[in-house]
Structures are given as structure tokens and as C-alpha cells.
Structure 1
């Protein structure tokens, strides 16, 4: 038996490779499939099945490209309908993988087709369960992503989740390994634990959703405090259900190197977005005017999916050699409309005498010194509502980063304001500053180190806590 978890930190996503006697299966693959193909080649194995736990909302699966490359069968759980050939499994159906077997357990709740896959060893003993977004370490999947009109509500799905857990998960032995589809940081649950795997016994002991409680109490527990899902979730779910362009075709478009005249010609089109993926510290020193910054060093794909339009063509400005990585990671969350990248990157643009823009970086102690003497000073805290509630500078304006794409979110900012932007550590604030600049707000500064540095100087700031209110 060979089981390998392939974890992608920037998406908090886990895919799985299972193999026995030269036969392999992949569960919940990412869109870039080279790692799975390479693993099968190294182990002299053939990928026969691609098992999907559900229609993913937070990333685009690699099921279609992997099936095309291997002739593997794509398997979904009961009730699945797609625009491409799949095997719709029955509840309890068993698939053989060499000496191993994988049993389908239909577990609706996160979505209607959600299913777990129970792996049995060569003796037929339950070994591990691949739970998708049904069960996480310390949490369960959110029940608000797969509603069909008004006939199925979030509470209905939460009720289904309760029944699934009680009938399919709780009866399993304590030593069965739990392999979920996501870890900490994912928006597919409320508060996932830091570990990427666990056991049934550990989850029975510590996971709030597996404690003894009534169905009504469970529904309340899993639905209370759910923040709105990122805007790209329904787009990705639709792509996974209906199909997509091959990643090679997407790369071919994005890898076109544009010289400066060609790049400037494209900039005249209103349906163009210039995305700069360099490091935040480099971006603030200089960038192509109008660029949006989302750096590869952070939760890049998530923020791109949450902030960028899917109906506009993307032009990339990257660190030289990072063009392909930028395209692949964007494609993971459904972006396919690329117009190419700036040949030679920003340094070539600057050295050619083209107009540039910049963002002024300041230390937290400079903000502290300016506050008492500047009546026009406005602090914009772009952290999430719960982060802000847990501690913030008194009178700071909270505009969460994912709301800044709405021009109305900046209605309180005036031309005469001296704006200081901060987040938790300095990544989100640079994204926010680039969005503000694109909206014509230029009198701003980025606070280096964000809230982390501000807290270190707490004697210089008036800090308060409030009650978080989630819509």
C-alpha cells in the first residue's frame, strides 16, 4: 500500500495518490497535473481512477486534464450531473486498486453530491477515509455553497450533514485515518485545525461537530458565524461541473512575451487588468501605473479569485522566470483569459523611461508620531472583521480587503485625507493600496509590518476591541 498526501499550502488543499500493485488512483487533483503524472512514472504505475469528493468551489480540479493524459475514469458520488463523461457511483460501491479497495460513502451536506472514500487494506480492514469537505480536522464543511434555489436551504444541508456524520462517519473505528481535502486557512469551513490529517478517534474527542448533540443544536453550531464565501466560489464550482480549457492552452496564451509597444497598446483597452505578482517590498518601490498587486508570496490564488474580474483579460508583470508559476496558480482558481506578460518585467519598463508609480512605505512608529499632529490623517485597517474586532487602533476605519473592489467602500475617503493603510503583516495592505491607487486615491502610505508592528508599539497607540458582527 502506498498513500501520499500532496498538500498545496497557498490553497490549503490536499490531493491524494493511492497505489497498489501498479494500479493508482488520485483523489481531488489540482488543475496542474504534472506532479501526479511524475509520481506514477517514478513508481511505474498506471493511474486508473480519479475520484472527486464533490464539485470544488475553492479551486479548479485537474480531473479533465488528468483523465485526458491517462485514460483514467472520473468518479463522482451519487446524484452528480456533469457536461463531460464521468462514472456516477452508487452509495456503497467498491472500486479495486490492486490489493486495496475504495468504498464510496455518500455524505451530502457540504454539497448534495459530496462523498467520502473509505480505503480498505488487502485484508479488507478499514484503513483511512478521504473525507473531502465533509469532515476536516476540527471542523466540517460549510453548508451554504450548494443551495438549489429556495427549495434547499443552508439549514437543510446542515441537517443532511448531521445525518451523514452520524450514519457514515461516527460508526468507523477510532484508528481509521482521516484525510480531508483542506487544512487551516481554507474558506470551506469556519475554523480548520492546523494538522492536515487525523484519526476518527481524535476527531470524536475534539471536533465540535462530532460531539453528542441534537440535530437542531448541530445545525445551529455549523451555521452560526459563517462569513460570506469568496466571490469566486460559485464560478469555480460551475467550471468544475461544466468543464474548462486545457491548462496547456491557457499557458500558451499567458506565456506570450509582449514588448513595451505591444503591452502599451493593450493597456488602451478598458477590459484589461494588469496584475503584478512580484514581492510586496519590490512592488511599492515602483510599478506600471494602474497595476493591481497580488504577490506570489501570500495566499495568491485566493486573493486573485476574490478581487480580480473573470471577464477581463489579464496582463502579467512578474519577476523574470515567474511567469509560468503566476499563470498556473491563477488557473487553479479558474482564470483562463490571459493576454501575455511584459517582456523583461518592470525593470525593462523602468529602464526604457516609461512612466512609473510607487507606494510610500512607513514604519509604525512614524504613524504614531504623525497621528497627534495631522487632523486629516485616516487609518484604514483592511483586515477581516473578526481580526479588527480583536484589537485595532481607536477610530481606525475598517474596510476588509475583499470589499475594496466595490468603489462604494471608499466613500468615506476624501481627497484631502492622508491615508495610512495597514493589515496584519503587510501583504494585504499593499494589495489594498494598489486597488485604491487604481481608483484614483493616491495620497496614501503603507504601514510596514501592519498590526504586528503596531502591537509592539502599543504604548504609542490607543488600542481598543469591539464585538465582531458577521453578515
Structure 2
């Protein structure tokens, strides 16, 4: 079998195409189906099957669109209660695509409805597409279904199920089985994933903490400790994926576009400005959140879905008309495209500016500033950068006005400079002050 891995870097998401003969199967596809169509055209194969390992929380899948446009069947666990046309695919079910036999293993733990897809070819080569159950060096977190989706499950129950999944569900598979996970390092679906994009089951049995000799209680204590925060959009995406998303780009053309505006009347709507911190500070609309989306390393999807709620509409400020489709496509990956009220580029006319921090004065007189540390709790637990800093994680800032003193100038910092642009802009919208500063990448001077 020929396995092709696709990577969505901002979300650390892996999806897969498996080609055998003249047929192709897909596993956990991203929102945009175009890359899979391009691959099918290149290899002159037909897309026959789409496997969903579970209803994803961190991105919107294109499984329903792919089904509508190709006729391929969607295979998912009956436990999902999927509200789209599908074939139940659970323990004991199998199908053949070309010369590859695909079977299912119910593998609860990350979610109660997770399955692992096993693929075996004529040469007896084994591959497992483990979704969010088994990662490289880790396993999926069990605490999302308390806050995500209509099917609720307590984290302790899922942690217990994950222990039994890892201990018992994969024992019949050979060590040479190649492990293809749905996520890698940087995803919020686990806490300690490797940067490796694949592994073997034998290597994971030796090196992954979850396979080591421990009691159920020890396993549960480890997996439940220090999990990352849960973004607001996760529940929203689970429900979208259980119902099947609208076609990618279906609303793009209906969003009003305002080019080179010189004035802007805002009725208390939110504004998302994805330009660079420098451009934002020189000229921005009052009330804007600066969540940067310059490169694929900028996690605009995660922070948009953490700062802005799924029910909140917003205007989108971009740098140039060339960015329209790129940015909307990134927003659509988490299903927020319908919340965009308009797309805006700014004229050279000045709206609002942000004063630069006097770095030398700050270095000499840090006690004369209120310092807000917006890193995540786990980062702060590893050590504060400024002892007198107030710790408020970025995703909690909008609800934390009462925790921020206003008697001194405010300096916002993160770990490397990216998040502090968003943090300082959020604070500027909840506190009336002209003395709010982004430490940006100058934080590196203090390590």
C-alpha cells in the first residue's frame, strides 16, 4: 500500500491517503478537500472511502463534502451517532480498498466513540491510523468530552478506558505495524507528543509512557495531570463534525469586502486583525484583537478559537486583497467563516496607534510596571520570567478585567513574542488606558 501523509502545521494535524490499485481511501481529512483531489488526479485513482476516527474537536473535517462530491462512503463508529449518511465501522467490521483490507478497533479513551483503523496489504504489511488515541510518545487527552459535543463523558471514565485500550486493544498487532497518528507536537489534543510524524508499534511499546508497566490508578493519575487548556471552539467543532460541515468556501463569496477604508463605524462588533504586530501598532481600528497570521507557524486558528467564542461575529482586517482566500481558509478550518461580518483593508489614513515600549526604562524599572504573563499555566509552573508578574493565560484575558491593576503602565509578555501581540490588544479593549505595551520578542532579553 502507498500511504501519503498530509500535514496541517498550524493545527499539527495529520491526515492520510492510502492508495492501492486504482482506489484511494482517506483518513481524518482536513476541511479543504482540494489536496486530496489533486492527489487522486495525479495517481488517476478513485476516492472510495473516508474514515473518521472520531468527531474531531480541533478542526472541521471535509468528510461530508468528499462524500457528496465523490460518492465515497464515510466509515465511522456507530457510537458517534453521526447525523450524515455513513457506514458503521466498529470491532469486527472490515472492507477492502484495492488490495488493502481495512478493519476497525474500537479504542475509547480520547473520546468514547474513537476507532483505530488497521490496514493490511497483500504482503502482510500492517499500518494503524490511530486518530487521537495513540500519538507518537503519548496518548490522547481524556478530558475534552466534558466540554465538547452532545455526548458527554467524564474524564476519569475516559482515562480508565484509555488504560484498557492501550493495555489490551492492540496486543495482536505486530511490532512492525506503522503508527500514523492524527496529530503531532503542538496539538492541544495531547500534552507531550513527539515531533516525529510516524513510528512503529514496537517502538511505542518500548518508549511511550502509556505502554509501560503501571497500575490503572498510576496511568489515570499521569494522563489527567497538567493537560493543556481547552479552547472555546472545541465543543463547536465536535458538533459540526457529528453533523457534517457545509462545503468548504461555501460562504466566502457572500462576505462583504471593504477595500482601503478611511472611516469605520462599529456597533460594538469584534474586530480580528491578522496583520503583523508592527503594522497593527502603526494603524489599526479601535477595538481590534491582533491575532497574527503571517506564516503557517502562526497559530491563528487556535487563538482565534480561544479568544473569540463560536457565537460571536467579527470583522476581519487583512493586509492585502491577496490575503482574502488564505485567511478565510484558515478561519474555515475551525468553522468560524460564517461569523465574519466583513473583510477590510485599511487606507493609509490613521485610525489608532499603539505606543512602543521604552525598553531601557522597563529594564531599569520593572517594579514601576504591571507585568501580565499570558503564558499557559503549565509554562508558568516551570518558572516565572518576572517574579512580580500577574499570571493570566491568554484565553482567559477577556474575562479577567478585575484582575488587572491600572495604577501603573501595563506590559504584556508571553514566551517568544507571538501571543503578546494578541494579549496586549485584548487588554487594550477591556481597560481604558494609553499605557499598555507589548513586550513582543524583547522577552528574549530576559531569559
Which TM bucket (shorter chain)? over 0.9
Unaligned residue ranges in structure 1 (runs of 5+): 456-471
In the alignment, structure 1 residue 453 sits paired with structure 2 residue 445:
yes
Partner of 1:358: 353
SS of structure 2 residue aligned to 1:195: coil
After TM superposition, list the pairs within 5 Å mapping 1:306-321 onto structure 2: 306-320=306-320, 321=322
TM superposition shift of 1:413: 2.9
**Contact 2:77–2:114 (CA<8 Å) still a contact in 1?**
yes
Partner of 1:333: 334
| Alignment partners' CA distance in 1, 2:440 and 2:202 | 44
Deviates more, 1:129-138 or 1:242-251: 242-251
CA 1:115/1:136 → structure 2, altered by over 3 Å: closer, same or farther? same
TM superposition shift of 1:51: 0.3
SS of structure 2 residue aligned to 1:284: helix
| Alignment partners' CA distance in 1, 2:144 and 2:119 | 27
TM superposition shift of 1:170: 3.5
TM superposition shift of 1:443: 1.3
Partner of 1:398: 391
| Alignment partners' CA distance in 1, 2:153 and 2:239 | 18
Partner of 1:420: 411
TM superposition shift of 1:357: 1.5
In the alignment, structure 1 residue 429 sits paired with structure 2 residue 420:
yes
| Alignment partners' CA distance in 2, 1:35 and 1:370 | 53
TM superposition shift of 1:363: 6.8
Partner of 1:324: 325
Partner of 1:274: 271
CA 1:164/1:361 → structure 2, altered by over 3 Å: closer, same or farther? same
Deviation per CA, 1:71-104: give whole Å up to 9, x if none.
1111102422122111111313112111111111
Partner of 1:370: 365
TM superposition shift of 1:228: 3.7
| Alignment partners' CA distance in 2, 1:363 and 1:12 | 36
TM superposition shift of 1:44: 0.7
Unaligned residue ranges in structure 2 (runs of 5+): none
Deviation per CA, 1:333-365: give whole Å up to 9, x if none.
1202222211xx22x2xx3x3x52222333754
TM superposition shift of 1:387: 1.7
| Alignment partners' CA distance in 2, 1:151 and 1:189 | 19
**Contact 2:61–2:245 (CA<8 Å) still a contact in 1?**
no
**Contact 1:359–1:433 (CA<8 Å) still a contact in 2?**
no
TM superposition shift of 1:149: 9.1
TM superposition shift of 1:450: 4.6
Partner of 1:2: 2
In the alignment, structure 1 residue 136 sits paired with structure 2 residue 138:
no
In the alignment, structure 1 residue 388 sits paired with structure 2 residue 377:
no
| Alignment partners' CA distance in 2, 1:358 and 1:261 | 16
TM superposition shift of 1:400: 1.0
| Alignment partners' CA distance in 2, 1:137 and 1:47 | 28
Partner of 2:283: 286
| Alignment partners' CA distance in 2, 1:10 and 1:397 | 28
| Alignment partners' CA distance in 2, 1:363 and 1:208 | 47
| Alignment partners' CA distance in 2, 1:339 and 1:151 | 32
**Contact 2:90–2:115 (CA<8 Å) still a contact in 1?**
no
Partner of 1:462: none
Aligned residues: 438
| Alignment partners' CA distance in 2, 1:264 and 1:420 | 28
TM superposition shift of 1:241: 0.8
Deviates more, 1:92-101 or 1:442-451: 442-451
Q: CA-atom RMSD, angstroms?
A: 2.1
SS of structure 2 residue aligned to 1:178: strand
| Alignment partners' CA distance in 1, 2:358 and 2:203 | 44
Deviation per CA, 1:21-66: give whole Å up to 9, x if none.
1100111011111111111111111111110000101111111111
**Contact 1:250–1:337 (CA<8 Å) still a contact in 2?**
no
| Alignment partners' CA distance in 2, 1:213 and 1:151 | 27
TM superposition shift of 1:150: 11
| Alignment partners' CA distance in 2, 1:404 and 1:367 | 22
**Contact 2:18–2:26 (CA<8 Å) still a contact in 1?**
yes
**Contact 1:436–1:442 (CA<8 Å) still a contact in 2?**
no
TM superposition shift of 1:263: 7.8
SS of structure 1 residue aligned to 2:119: strand
| Alignment partners' CA distance in 1, 2:192 and 2:429 | 33
TM superposition shift of 1:261: 7.0
Partner of 2:247: 246
| Alignment partners' CA distance in 2, 1:262 and 1:252 | 23
Deviates more, 1:412-421 or 1:319-328: 412-421
SS of structure 2 residue aligned to 1:157: helix
Deviation per CA, 1:244-284: give whole Å up to 9, x if none.
33222222234x3225679835x23x3x3211111223222
| Alignment partners' CA distance in 1, 2:433 and 2:97 | 58
